[in-house]
Homo-oligomer: A and B are copies of this chain.
């Protein structure tokens, strides 16, 4: 890595000052996923970003799913996925596997990585301290045990933050009868951010942000007012897989999260740049 002069170092740190001030004691929820979760280098960068932010006084909450690891384990135990209208049907056995992989593998691995980076982390899932209340999602076709969040109790996360831990949240939950439900991680992150009164919700993705022309990264739209989202959908600028992600952003903003952004998780340290500089690295919804 190139040598950086002391002057440049000082300048960078100095430039970060107003951003550290702005976010001091504020809650930032990071929805972690995509490439940033599969590439070991990016993973390390995310972990050290989060530890750094938490050290400079920002209260970071890491929310994660774990699609690829779930698919791999389902395959390994020989569960074949049935698809309903393009979505995977979650039977009881699948739901158990999802919980096991999310809460027992991905979550604990992240806790361990954050601690290797110098942080102190605490792994949680939706059942811990009755954090996430859930019911069967209503949909035209039965999707099995896919959960819809009915309530978020932030006490377990707030307790962990107060006691100095970085909370790492696996997005599964159980209903009152103990049935496990899989929950969409973007939605869970949005609801948690709203319930915590977060200053910022950051969704890590594998794209540069919202593009005016999907095929041209130079057409990045840096900021969107949520009231313009319906128009952008009609125009087809928001389309396909972007729709649910951006609906999450809109919901988070509507529920009181000041700023929500989709950032490019393929860039190392994109979280740090997003929070501590004036150069956004994706699209901001407000």
CB-CB < 8 A to A100: which residues of B?
100-101, 104-105
Q: Does A7 contact B (CB under 8 A)?
A: yes
Q: Would you call A11 and B7 a contact (CB within 8 A)?
A: no
Q: Does A128 contact B (CB under 8 A)?
A: yes
Contact A122/B128 with A163-B159, A277-B6 known, Cβ cut-off 8 Å = yes
Q: Does A8 contact B (CB under 8 A)?
A: yes
Complex: how many Å from CA A272 to CA B20?
A: 15
Complex: how many Å from CA A281 to CA B111?
A: 36
CB-CB < 8 A to A236: which residues of B?
none
CB-CB < 8 A to A51: which residues of B?
17, 21
Q: Does A125 contact B (CB under 8 A)?
A: yes
Q: Which of A113-121, A186-194, A247-255 contacts the other chain? A: A113-121
Contact A268/B99 with A56-B20, A108-B127, A178-B113 known, Cβ cut-off 8 Å = no
Q: Does A199 contact B (CB under 8 A)?
A: no
CB-CB < 8 A to A102: which residues of B?
104
Q: Would you call B127 and A112 a contact (CB within 8 A)?
A: yes
Q: Would you call B12 and A4 a contact (CB within 8 A)?
A: yes
Q: Would you call A121 and B111 a contact (CB within 8 A)?
A: no
Q: Please provide the chain A residues from 115 to 147 with a CB less than 8 Å away from any CB of chain B in the complex.
A: 115-118, 120-125, 127-130
Q: Does A96 contact B (CB under 8 A)?
A: yes
Q: Does A222 contact B (CB under 8 A)?
A: no
Kindly identify which residue among B12, B113, B130 contacts A12, using a CB–CB cutoff of 8 Å: B12
Q: Would you call A276 and B111 a contact (CB within 8 A)?
A: no
CB-CB < 8 A to A107: which residues of B?
103-104
Complex: how many Å from CA A255 to CA B274?
A: 44
CB-CB < 8 A to A112: which residues of B?
127, 174, 178, 180
Contact A52/B20 with A8-B8, A111-B128, A128-B111 known, Cβ cut-off 8 Å = yes
Q: Would you call A272 and B13 a contact (CB within 8 A)?
A: yes
CB-CB < 8 A to A281: which residues of B?
6
Complex: how many Å from CA A108 to CA B102?
A: 11
Q: Would you call A268 and B108 a contact (CB within 8 A)?
A: no
Q: Does A48 contact B (CB under 8 A)?
A: yes
User: Which residue of chain B has its CB nearest to the CB of A1?
Assistant: B11
A-side residues, CB < 8 A to B, are 1-2, 4, 6-18, 20-21, 24, 45, 48-49, 51-52, 55-57, 73, 76-78, 96, 99-105, 107-109, 111-113, 115-118, 120-125, 127-130, 155-156, 159, 163, 165, 172, 174, 176-178, 180, 267-269, 272-273, 276-277, 279, 281
